[in-house]
């Protein structure tokens, strides 16, 4: 949500701000969030997930592909631009969350 605000603040020729969901990746994090009832099926579940290299591909593309130079304020799922939840576009709420973040970190990046 605050990424959209930050994207509006910064010059996209200098810095871009985007959010990316790389997909479900077979990393140790999956083991930590697997519910107990699914543990016997963990190896089957992992086979259906992206490999770490596949998961990283979208991140690398967003960070390095020349076609994405200057692209900012976007939400992507893997390589596809999507719409994030409607509430994330609420400018007033973005400002409130931004202000709370500044208060809690005692740092203003401007």
pLDDT tens readout for residues 55-99: 999 999 999 999 999 999 999 999 899 999 999 999 999 999 999
Q: 3-state class of 21 per DSSP?
A: strand
C-alpha to C-alpha distance for 63 and 70, rounded to whole angstroms: 11
| Inter-CA distances, 45 with 25, 33, 38, Å | 11, 12, 9
Q: Residue 109's pLDDT is what? A: 55
Query: Which pLDDT band holds residue 107 (cuts at 50, 70, 90)?
Result: low
Residue 39 contacts by C-beta under 8 Å, 6 or more apart in sequence? none
Selected residue with higher pLDDT from 90 and 107: 90
Q: Residue 108's pLDDT is what? A: 56
Q: Residue 106's pLDDT is what? A: 77
User: How much is the average pLDDT of 31-55?
Assistant: 88
């Amino acid at each position: 949500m605050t990424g959209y605000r930050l994207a509006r603040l910064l010059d996209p020729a200098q810095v871009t701000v985007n959010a990316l969901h790389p997909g479900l990746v077979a990393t140790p994090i999956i083991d930590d969030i697997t519910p107990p009832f699914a543990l016997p099926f963990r190896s089957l579940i992992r086979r259906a997930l992206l490999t770490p290299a596949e998961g990283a591909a979208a991140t690398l593309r967003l960070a390095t592909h020349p076609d994405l130079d200057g692209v900012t304020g976007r939400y992507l799922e893997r390589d596809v631009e999507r719409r994030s939840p409607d509430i994330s576009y609420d400018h007033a709420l973005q400002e409130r969350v931004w202000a709370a973040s500044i208060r809690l970190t005692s740092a203003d990046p401007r």
